[in-house]
Amino acid sequence: MPVLDIEDFAAALPQYAPVVGLDPGEKTIGVAVSDVTRTVASPLALIEKTKFSKDAEALFKLMDSRGAVGIVIGLPMNMDGTEGVRCQSNRALGRNLLRLKPDLPITFWDERLSTAAVTRVLIEEHDVNRKRRAEVVDKMAAGWILQGALERLRAF
């Protein structure tokens, strides 16, 4: 199955099964999961990046434990709508995951400013210190990304 646009992604998913959202960074991958009705996204875990095969194994283990059936990967578009190096890296992550699980529905979601928005919430609303923010921002950004995609999926 190729990487899908959001409408085809919605059609490829079985009913009543969660999906995961990913916020891939240079050192970590933030992971969030939806409920079975795909209404609410919740931050789930942070995968420390080591080697792709180990990272993928950790991701698939998390997905299996939650019964997740698809992946939404954040795509950090530039403000002018173009794609930079980080987008290329995230697209490569999607392609590499498909090599391991060819039938896995995967889509991308524009994540412009997701980390900035989450950081702002953590500082302004929860007064979270810098060390604690570093521990949670990527998985919370994954939740932000996934929640945006879930809201779009409800249109289909």
Tens digits of per-residue pLDDT, 26-50?
Answer: 899 999 999 999 999 999 999 999 9
Question: What is the pTM for the complete model shown?
Answer: 0.87
**Of 23, 1, 31, nearest to 90 (Cα)?**
23
Which range among 20-24, 91-95, 124-128 shows the weakest confidence by mean pLDDT? 124-128
Tens digits of per-residue pLDDT, 69-119?
Answer: 999 999 988 778 788 888 899 999 999 999 999 999 999 998 866 666 656
111-134 b/e (C-beta count within 10 Å ≥ 16 → b): beebbeebbeebeeeeebeeeeee
